[in-house]
Amino acid sequence: MTRTDDPELALHLHLETLIALHGARRVMLAALAALVRPRMRPPLAEQFAELDDHMRRDIGLPPRGHSPPMPHWSHFGW
């Protein structure tokens, strides 16, 4: 029985399985294609959602909304 709880060993076993199923040339070409392929960027709406209200106002977007109310105990300086 083979131990697969070691991540490097598990990766090696998965790579050997892929090569056995598809061939070394196909696996190598797929890995190279994955390296060359451009990374997916998050959509603009998600990028704008992270901006604070001052930055949103500067670029012409409406504010996200009111901030949540402060808890009553925060007035005591804790």
Look up residue 1 and give its two tokens.
């029985």
Kindly report, residue by residue over 3-12, the tens digit of the pLDDT.
557 888 888 8
Kindly report, residue by residue over 66-78, the tens digit of the pLDDT.
766 766 666 666 5
Cα separation, 4 vs 32, whole angstroms: 26
Q: How confident is the model at residue 41 (pLDDT cuts 50, 70, 90)?
A: confident
In-domain check, residue 28: yes
The mean predicted confidence, pLDDT, of the chain is: 81
| Number of domains within the chain | 1
In-domain check, residue 1: no
Give the domain extent around 22.
7-58
In-domain check, residue 76: no
In-domain check, residue 64: no
Residue 55 has a pLDDT of: 85
In-domain check, residue 73: no
What does the DSSP assignment read for the chain?
-----SHHHHHHHHHHHHHHHH-HHHHHHHHHHHHHSPPPPPPHHHHHHTS-HHHHHHTTPPP--PPPPPPGGGGGT-
